[in-house]
Amino acid sequence: SRPTTPERVLMAQHRTPEALMYEASRVSAPGMPRSLLPRTPERHTLSSSRSLVEASVQEGQGAVQHGVFGAAPAAREMAPGAAPVQLGTPTAEPAARETTPPKALTMNFNTVEQDIIPSRQHSQRDDLAMPPQEQVEQPLQEPVAEPLQEPMAQPRQFKTLSEPFFGERRQRREHSASDGDEPRVASQYQRCTEKEFYGRYPLTGTLLMQYIEKASTDDKFDLDKQVSSLTDWDAIPSHAWEASYLAFGSIITIHAAHLAASLGSIKVLQWLETNSSEDNVLDKQATMKFKGSERIHKHYTPLMSALFMSKTSVAIWLLDHGASATIANHDGLSAFHLLAWLGLPNETADDRAGALGRIAAKLVENSADLNAESGPMNHRSDPTAADQRNSTALQIGARMSSGYPKQMLHLLTKSYHCPAKSQLFNEVSTIAQANPTAAVVLLEKMQEVHVGDVKKRLFEEVLEQVKEGRHMEKFITILKMSPVAGFRLLELLMIEPQLQDPQRYPLPLYAVIPNGRMLCSYQPANDGDRPAWMNKPSPPAWHSELRKNLPSNLQSRRDVYEVDVRVLHLPGVVNMQVLSILSMLKQDWSQLSIMDGVSVNGIITHAWSKCWSQFYCNIAWEILLLLVLLIVGIAPPPADSHLAYSLFSTVMLANLLASALRLVTGVLVCKKCTGLKWMTFLGAFAIGDIIRFILLATFMMAAKLPVDTGVERVLVTLNVLLRCVGLMSLCRVVPELGPLIMAVMRSFLPMRGMIIFMFAVFGTFAFAFLIFRDANRGTVFVLLYLYQALFLAERDAAESISGLDLAHQQTLDLGVQMFTGNGDESILMLSVAVTVAGSSLFSLVLLNLTIGMYTKFYEQMESRAVLMFHQHRAKRVVSFMLRPAWLLAQRVRKDERIPQAWARGYLTIACGITSALCLISVMWQTSILISGSLLFCMTTLIEATLVYNIADISDRSDYLWISYRTDFDMQGEDAGDTQQEVRLLRRQFDEQRAAQLKELAQTQKLMSKLLDRLEGSPKARSSPKTRS
C-alpha cells in the first residue's frame, strides 16, 4: 500500500511469479496473519516459474488481466454487494489517497514470455508448435496497471517433484486428516518429467507422464505395477494422460503417446494402445490454445513427434500399426511435409539415407499424398512459413533452408514411388535447381523401372506443358542447372513415331547416311499433337530426307546402314538457348559425355546442317582477306596500280566493319537470345575476332599501301599469322580436321605444370650464363644461344656461351673464339661444368619426360576430342545465329507486310544491287568508306539470303526426327567395326555360358541319379544321414 516509486516498479518487474503472488496476497488480504500467507521461496528455478505460468493459464483460475498469473487467496469471503478489492489499492488508508499499483502484477503475455523463457534463435524444428506469428512478433508493450473488477480467486496449488523422487517407487499410503494433501493420479506437477520435452520444453502434468518417461528410458521399469499403485484403472481420467507446455505464445497439450514417440519407445506405445481407454490413441493429436482465444486447435500426432526427434523405428512401427500418414497439423503440414523439412537430423550420416528411404516408402504405402500442399499459414509471417506455405513435400525439401539432404530428393517424388502416375518433368525441374546430382539420380532410378510406362507418362506430361507454353522454359532450366539430367530427360523422350499401318508403310530399316552417323529432319506434328509417319502412297516431301532411294545391292555402297527412327517428343528443342548451354559445357568428362547421346548429337547435327552455307561463306571471306594481305606483303603491285590498292583497301575496310558490327550485335542481343552475359559472350565467342580486329585496324591506320617500312611489314606479318590461326580455328568444325586439332591443342593443357617447371629450370641456368657472359655479349644473345643449347642440344650454341670449346675449334673455323670468359680460367671451367649439367638434365630427363607426357595426354584426349568437336559445332552455330545477317533474315521472315513467297527474292535483288554499286565505286575509285560499306552490305545480304529459310528455327514448335545407325557411336565411321567386335565377343561369351550351363545341368542330373541309387541300397535305408 506504500506509494510505488520507479525503483520499486523496476524491482517488481524482475521478481519471480511466486514473489509476485506473495505481494498480491499481502495487498488483497492485509489482515491475514503472516503465517497463513504463501511463503516466498528463496530460490526459484526458471523451469518451475515457467511451468507455474503454463498451468495457471491452462486452468484459467485466478487469472490476472492477461490470464497469466494466478491470483493470491482471499483471507475471507466478501460480503454481498461489497466493492471489489482493487489490486494495489490501500485498504487501511483513506480512499482519497491513491497510489500506483506495481506494474509487475499486470504484465502482459509477451512480457512473461521474455522474462521467463531465455531468448533463443528460432530453429527449423520449432515449426511443430509454431503459433500465429503476429502474436509472436508483437513488440513488448509497456505494462499498465489496471484494477481487477472481480474478487481474486483461489490459485491452483501445484506439487513440485523433488530430484530424489525420480526413479523411486511411489507407494500408495494412508494419510491423516491433518495431512490434508492426499496424492491423486490427476494431480498436476510443475515439472512432471525429468527431461524436457523435445529437449527444450518443461512439461506440467501428472505422475503418469513421469512413469511414461521412466518406462521409455528404462526397459526394467514395470509400468503396470507403478500405475496400479496410484489408483484403480477405472478411476484414471482421460486428462491424466496429458501434459502441457508453453511455446511461442500458446499452450500446447500433448498426450502420453507423444512423449513416448519422442523418446523412441515402441514398448510404451504398445502399452498405451492396449491399456488406453481412448480410441485410436496412435493418432491422438496435440492441441493448441492461443493467447486471448478460447478456440482449441488440433496440432501434431505421435508420428510427427517421432519424425521430429528422428525416431525411425518408432515412425515405421506407428505406420505399420495403423497411424495415419495424411493427418496435418495446425499449419497444414503432414508427416511427409515434416520429413521433407527436417530430414531426420539426429540420424547418423551413414544411416540417414536408409532411414529416409524406409520412412518415405512406408508413408506412401499408408496413402500419403505426395502432391498435397501445405496450408496457407496466413497467421504466420516468419521466413520459415514463407518456405513452407502452399508447397508440396518436394518443394519444401528442395529449398536451401530445409534440413533435408539434397542428394536424397528423389525419395520425395511421385515418379520414384508411383512411376505410372509420375510427374517426372516437373519434379526434375524442381530438383535440378536444388541439387543437380539428385536430378540425375532420379532419372537413373526411373530407367531401372519399366521404361515404356515412364516414357508414355512423360510424353503426356510434356503435352500438358506444351498447351501451357512452359515446356521449353522448364527444360532450359533443367539443362542449365544439370546438363546430365537434361540429357537423360531427352533420352527418355526419344520415342518411336506413331504408325497407323506398319504392315504396309513401315519405318525405313536402311538409309543412306552421308556423314556416317545420322540423318535429321525438323517437322511439325501432322497428326494432332503427336508426330506420326504418314501412311499413304504419296508421303510428304520431307520423308525423302530419311528414306532415300536405296541401291538393289546394299553392299555396293559404304554409306548404307541399318537404322532406327525415333522422334524427340519435345517440340521446339532446336533452340538457340539450348545450343548455347551445350556450347558452354565444362570440359570434364561427366558433362562432356552427353555429346555421346543420340538426342544431343541430333540437335547439334541438325542445327549445323542448316548453317553450313553460312560457314562456307565465312571461310571464303576469310580466305579473300588472307590473299589480300599476302599479296600486299609478298608481291605488292606497283605504286601506280591505284585500282588494285583501292580494291585491297575496300576488302580490308569491309572486314573491319563486319567484325565491329558482329561484336556490337552480339553484345546487345546475347542476353535476350542465349541468356549469356555480354562479358561471357565476348570471352567465349569473340575473343579471337577482337584480337584480329585490333591488329587489322592498327595496320590500316599505321601503314600506307604499298608497304615499304619494316614496321609496316611487321604489321602485315602479324595479321597474316592471326588470319591463318583464325582459319585453322574455323576448321575445327570440319570432321576430318576438327577432332585432330582439338586433340593437339587440348593435350597441352594438362602439361602446364611441366612447361612451367622447364622454364623455371631454364631461368636458373640463364642466371648463371648471364653472369659468365663476355663484356661484349648482350642478354638476348645469351638467352637465344642458351635455348638452342638446352632445348635443341646444339653443340655450337653451347660453345658460344661457355668454355666448352677446349680444343679451340671456333678459332680454326671462324678465326675468333666466341667465348673467352674475360680471360679468367675459373670462369671457363665453371661454365663447362654448368653447360654439361644443363645439357644432360634437359636432353636426358626433361625433354624425354615431356615427350612421354604429351603422348600420354594426347592418347587420353583423342577419344574426348570427338565430343569437343561437336561442342564446338554448337558454339559456331550460336555465333552464326547472333550475326547481323541471321537477325536480318529473321526480321524479314517475321514481317507480315512482306509476302513469304517474295521475301527471299527481295533479298536476292537487294544483294545484286549492292554488288553492282560496290563494283562501280571500286572502278571509279571513289571513297574507300563508300566502297567498303557497300561490300559489307553485299556480304551481309548474301548471308541473309542463304539462311532465310531457317532463320526462325528457334521460334518453331517442331519435332526432331532422327534416323541413326543401330550401332551408333560418336567415334565416326569406324564405330561400326568396334560395335561389331563387341557383338562378336558378346556372342562368344553367351555361347560359352550356354555350354557351361548345359554341362552343369548334366552334372546335376548324374548326381540326382547317384543319390537315388544310394537311397535304394539297404545301407542307405539304414542310415538317415546318407541323403545329406
Q: What is the pLDDT of residues 497-553, one digit of tens each?
A: 887 777 777 888 888 888 888 899 998 876 556 787 766 666 777 777 777 767 777
Instruction: Compute CA distances 43 → 26, 166, 329, 904, whole Å.
Output: 20, 21, 38, 96
Among residues of the chain, what percentage have pLDDT more than 70?
A: 77
Q: Look at 684 and 84; give whichever has higher pLDDT.
A: 684
Q: What band does 186 get if pLDDT is binned at 50, 70 and 90?
A: low
Which tens digit of pLDDT belongs to each residue from 584-599? 998 888 889 899 889 9
449: pLDDT strictly greater than 60:
yes
146: pLDDT strictly greater than 70:
no
175: pLDDT strictly greater than 70:
no
| Grid coordinates given for 679 | 562479358
pTM: 0.73
Buried b (16+ CB within 10 A) or exposed e, 567-602: bbbbbbbbbbbbbbbbbbbeeeeebbbbbbbbbbbb
932: pLDDT strictly greater than 50:
yes
Residue 62: per-residue pLDDT: 35
Among residues of the chain, what percentage have pLDDT more than 90?
A: 44
Residue 382: per-residue pLDDT: 87
Mean pLDDT of the region 669-685: 91
Residue 1: per-residue pLDDT: 38
**Rounded Cα–Cα distance for residues 603 and 387 (Å):** 38
| Grid coordinates given for 556 | 555396293
| Beta carbons of 610 and 953 less than 8 angstroms apart | yes
**Rounded Cα–Cα distance for residues 448 and 458 (Å):** 15
Which tens digit of pLDDT belongs to each residue from 800-810? 999 888 888 88
Which tens digit of pLDDT belongs to each residue from 551-573? 777 776 778 888 889 999 999 99
Which tens digit of pLDDT belongs to each residue from 23-37? 443 433 344 333 333
Angle 681-684-686 (CA atoms, 0-180°, nearest 5)?
Answer: 75
Least confident of 112-116, 280-284, 736-740: 112-116
The upper half-sphere exposure of residue 30, i.e. CA atoms within 13 Å in the direction of its Cβ, equals 12
| Grid coordinates given for 452 | 515404356
Instruction: Name residues whose C-beta falls within 8 Å of residue 526's C-beta, 6 or more positions apart in sequence.
Output: 532, 534, 540
Residue 64: per-residue pLDDT: 30
Mean pLDDT of the region 859-888: 92
- The residue type at 535: N
How buried is 695 (Cβ within 10 angstroms: 0-12 exposed, 13-18 middle, 19+ buried)?
middle
**Rounded Cα–Cα distance for residues 884 and 658 (Å):** 9
- 706: preceding bond cis by omega (within 30 degrees): yes
Which tens digit of pLDDT belongs to each residue from 371-384? 999 999 988 888 89
Residue 830: per-residue pLDDT: 93
Which tens digit of pLDDT belongs to each residue from 274-328? 887 777 889 999 999 988 888 899 999 999 999 999 999 999 999 999 999 999 9
Least confident of 431-445, 601-615, 901-915, 1003-1017: 1003-1017
Question: What is the separation of C-alpha 77 from the centre of its chain, rounded to a whole number of angstroms?
Answer: 71
The upper half-sphere exposure of residue 960, i.e. CA atoms within 13 Å in the direction of its Cβ, equals 28
**Rounded Cα–Cα distance for residues 551 and 543 (Å):** 17
CB atoms within 10 A of CB 799: 23
Angle 50-56-57 (CA atoms, 0-180°, nearest 5)?
Answer: 95
Pairing, β 287-290 against β 250-255: antiparallel
| Grid coordinates given for 925 | 575509285
State the average pLDDT for the chain.
78
Least confident of 349-358, 451-460, 741-750, 782-791: 451-460
State whether residue 311 is helix, strand or coil: coil
